[in-house]
Structure 1
Amino acid sequence: MSVQVKASVLHSAKDLRIEPRDLSSPEADEIQIRIASTGLCGSDLHYYQHFRNGDILVREPLALGHESAGVVTAVGPSVSNFKAGDKVALEVGLPCGKCSRCEEGRYNICKEMRFRSSGKSFPHFQGTLQERINHPAAWCHKLPEDVSLDVGALLEPLGVALHAFRRSQMHDDATVLVFGAGAVGLLCAAVAKLKGAKKVIIADIDAGRLEFAVQNGFAHSSYTVPMRRGKDTDESLAIAKETAEAIGKVDSAGEVDTVFECTGVPSCVQASIYATRPGGRLMLVGMGHPVQTIPLGAAALREVDIVGVFRYANTYPESIEIVQQAACSSDGPDFSKLVTHRFSGLADASKAFEMAGKTKDADGKLVIKVVIDSSDGAGSKL
């Protein structure tokens, strides 16, 4: 038996349409979920604004959304670990489960990965911006009562931060620098802090975001990056060195043990290399310019490891523990405050995407994470 649900579907740049879709009963190994909170991320925004994300083109109408949580409405006959009414977060990347990378537990880099709201695989794997959706129970994670659905949706980008932390091999009492105070940068800072970093410095060009980061316990201190650009490579690298030196003076940090670069901006990547101590690690988290000029010799001569980060693997259970740990911490971080704007109903999806593309709203309030409640019922903040 099938029911009809509404979905927000992208047909071209900024052309979102609400369309009916037939939703069958869940398959034997699936659960059906009322989607109650979906956070908009940078890739969603690229698809919305350009109908592409870098080199990935959208080739058919696509429902966006992949940072999602909701409430179980039905379960397949083979599912025993979920029941109607359970709150769940969705892990929306489905790997093949058979290749060498999957067998290693690194399913995030499976070549056959199908990821909801991405145009990479074809036919596209449709995203979560619809009222209800069927999803394999094996890739759903039950939320404790004390974790809200908005925070449940944040587990997806939090997984990126946790995966970056794991690959960083950060030691206790480390000094950490995070470039970029967007949602992922704030989450990287939070994870480093909760995992025992002695100092977490966050850097950005936006002083308002930095103030938010420190006041809400995501980082210990901050540095406002000056808006300067060099006229050529030599001048750009000189500015990057100056930026690294200035950051080293924040709280007498000196050269830092680990840098999480969450912008992808060439000047920040350059400064990150200079800021990292000999033998330290630079984590490339941000998806920015695909081709960059970097001082590779400065990294090689000091044995600075440059490590890539792509999505996440096996992070949801620990991410749930992290948000619960943070809730018990006296000095933050307060993950719930990352959600700065909420829109109810798919009819306002375009307004939500327009808001997500801003740094401040019309009232001057900071925009960090925009979420859409696409459910067909109340209760998005259970």
Structure 2
Amino acid sequence: MPVLSSSTAAVLHGPKDLRIEPRSLWAPEPGQCQVEVKATGLCGSDLHYYLAGRNGDFAIRSPLVLGHESSGIITALGAGVSSQYPHLRVGMRVAIECGIPCRSLNPDGSQRTGKDTCKHCSNNRYNLCKNLRFCSSAKTFPHRDGMLQQKINHEAWCLHPIPDNLSFSQAALAEPLSVLLHASRRAGICPTSLHPSLASSSTSPASFTSSSLASAAGKKILVFGVGAIGLIACALAQELGAERVCAVDINSDRLAFASREGFTYGEGTGTFCLPLTPKSSSSADLNPSTNSNPKEPEIIRRAKENAAQALAIFDEPDGFDVVFECTGAESCILMSVFCATLGARIALIGMGSSLVSSFPISAAATREVDLIGSFRYADTYNEAVDLLSGSHIFADTSVNGVHELKKADFSQKLSKLITHRYPLNLAKEAFELLARGRDEHGGMVLKVMIES
């Protein structure tokens, strides 16, 4: 296959070793489109790779292009795309989904059968596919490059058309919004996708029943961590009809932003700033109910104490119906158990601590608190684009049907998360800014966007 031209890319060779380099650009393969990348948001996993050359257990083994929150314009179609995906055309603006599962297909494109079938792709849980390759992740090798480059070739079915009223930077937010749509479905407050990407006869839209009628109506939601993901969790919970949305963080400026910009919602105080240092034993003695077991690990005692203080400030003595844990910090994971009401659900979203030294198993079990894992997303992009565009359809159990919710300020609210913009050739400076968390004027850094 001949080389068409070269494409500039920001390539990570090791910790803080990010180089702007030319990359060969090939014609798209059958089933692929060539896309000119117009906007890519930097996220926490990108920053981990930049700073340490690894994200948790996944270390880069060869030069890697980062970036997976992206949108762009289709510039060429590979063989078969125009017939198999007639809705895609050259010049179309698209959001780019970066997880590439096996789709239960053989290398020649034929469908797998019998024991060779991928049960996760067949059941519309392709985010769990064992053979999934995610652009910008070092989990698999050879790595699959991400989106911090001028042009890329990408699977056509992973390209989602965006309307003209949606900017490329707004469309790039479809990726982190997808994380929260998936987590909200797992937590039971968001309906199932009405148009799954890998639809099969067993998972057609018509077959969605109880899960498709999930609703946040009347629920009280607590979010730990108000970085970009946590703020999107707050905004989405409101959009889904939550009665109240509160937030916990260690950063008072971010909490002030969440409150000022309407990310928290409902009557009373909506934010709690978690103390950075353990409280003194004398303060614990003032509340003996949180220190009744002298053999209790100190970290559990502090979690109970902080939870009790937070619930008092929120005036929610019974706790919250759904908790989104977006930090991955051990102290917050433990605290979330004690902030949850009886029968509540805790969605584990943050990828931080790989091991929790102590966990209140008894408290979680006897109060029937469900701990729910949530990993990336599946069948979320179309709903994410709809949400960002200002209209969408969600189930309404109160009338046993569906209704259209239109909140024009949702996309504008999420757009406020984009605090800084850089061109591709200054990607290293963009990562350094994200690492500092403050710009040269003292401004808060939330979402840094690489644009062209």
Band the TM-score falls in, shorter-chain normalisation: over 0.9
* Matching residue of 1:228: 277
* Matching residue of 1:241: 304
* Matching residue of 2:180: 161
Question: Could you tell me which of 247, 250, 256 is aligned with 1:205?
Answer: 250
Report the CA distance shift for 1:294/1:234 in structure 2 as closer, same or farther (over 3 A): same
Question: Could you tell me which of 49, 53, 62 is aligned with 1:60?
Answer: 62
* Matching residue of 1:107: 126
Question: Could you tell me which of 79, 82, 85 is aligned with 2:88?
Answer: 82
Considering only CA atoms, is the larger Rg found in Structure 1 or Structure 2?
2
- Decide whether the 8 Å contact of 2:390 with 2:408 is kept in 1: no
* Matching residue of 1:144: 163
Question: What amino acid sits opposite 1:228 in the alignment?
Answer: T
* Matching residue of 1:366: 444
* Matching residue of 1:15: 17
TM-score for the superposition, normalised by structure 2: 0.79
Q: CA offsets, 1:319-355, max 9 Å, x none?
A: 11222338953765611111101001x3211101111
Q: CA offsets, 1:4-45, max 9 Å, x none?
A: 111111111111112211111222321111111111111111
- Decide whether the 8 Å contact of 2:417 with 2:447 is kept in 1: yes
Report the CA distance shift for 1:233/1:186 in structure 2 as closer, same or farther (over 3 A): farther
Paired residue secondary structure (1:59): coil
Report the CA distance shift for 1:233/1:95 in structure 2 as closer, same or farther (over 3 A): farther
In structure 2, C-alpha distance between the alignment counterparts of 1:288 and 1:24, rounded to whole Å:
37
- Decide whether the 8 Å contact of 1:10 with 1:48 is kept in 2: yes
In structure 1, C-alpha distance between the alignment counterparts of 2:261 and 2:377, rounded to whole Å:
25
In structure 1, C-alpha distance between the alignment counterparts of 2:142 and 2:129, rounded to whole Å:
17
Question: What amino acid sits opposite 1:305 in the alignment?
Answer: D
Answering whether residue 369 of structure 2 is matched by residue 291 of structure 1, we say no
Answering whether residue 373 of structure 2 is matched by residue 308 of structure 1, we say yes
Q: Alignment length, in residue pairs? A: 373
Q: C-alpha displacement at 1:276, in angstroms?
A: 0.4
Q: C-alpha displacement at 1:57, in angstroms?
A: 1.5
Q: C-alpha displacement at 1:87, in angstroms?
A: 1.2
Q: C-alpha displacement at 1:151, in angstroms?
A: 1.1
Question: Could you tell me which of 152, 162, 174 is aligned with 2:219?
Answer: 174
In structure 2, C-alpha distance between the alignment counterparts of 1:264 and 1:229, rounded to whole Å:
19
- Decide whether the 8 Å contact of 1:217 with 1:331 is kept in 2: no
Percent of residue pairs identical: 44
Answering whether residue 244 of structure 2 is matched by residue 192 of structure 1, we say no
Provide runs of 4+ in structure 1 moved above 6 Å: 230-233
Question: What amino acid sits opposite 2:21 in the alignment?
Answer: E
- Decide whether the 8 Å contact of 1:63 with 1:127 is kept in 2: yes
- Decide whether the 8 Å contact of 1:229 with 1:236 is kept in 2: no
Paired residue secondary structure (2:71): strand
TM-score for the superposition, normalised by structure 1: 0.93
- Decide whether the 8 Å contact of 1:75 with 1:83 is kept in 2: yes
Answering whether residue 390 of structure 2 is matched by residue 339 of structure 1, we say no
Question: What amino acid sits opposite 1:85 in the alignment?
Answer: G
Answering whether residue 407 of structure 2 is matched by residue 329 of structure 1, we say yes
In structure 2, C-alpha distance between the alignment counterparts of 1:100 and 1:205, rounded to whole Å:
41
- Decide whether the 8 Å contact of 2:68 with 2:98 is kept in 1: yes
CA RMSD of aligned residues (A): 1.8
Segments of 5+ residues of structure 1 without an aligned counterpart are 376-382
In structure 1, C-alpha distance between the alignment counterparts of 2:390 and 2:243, rounded to whole Å:
18
In structure 2, C-alpha distance between the alignment counterparts of 1:78 and 1:230, rounded to whole Å:
64
Question: What amino acid sits opposite 2:302 in the alignment?
Answer: I
Question: Could you tell me which of 323, 344, 356 is aligned with 1:280?
Answer: 344
Paired residue secondary structure (1:152): helix
Q: C-alpha displacement at 1:251, in angstroms?
A: 4.4
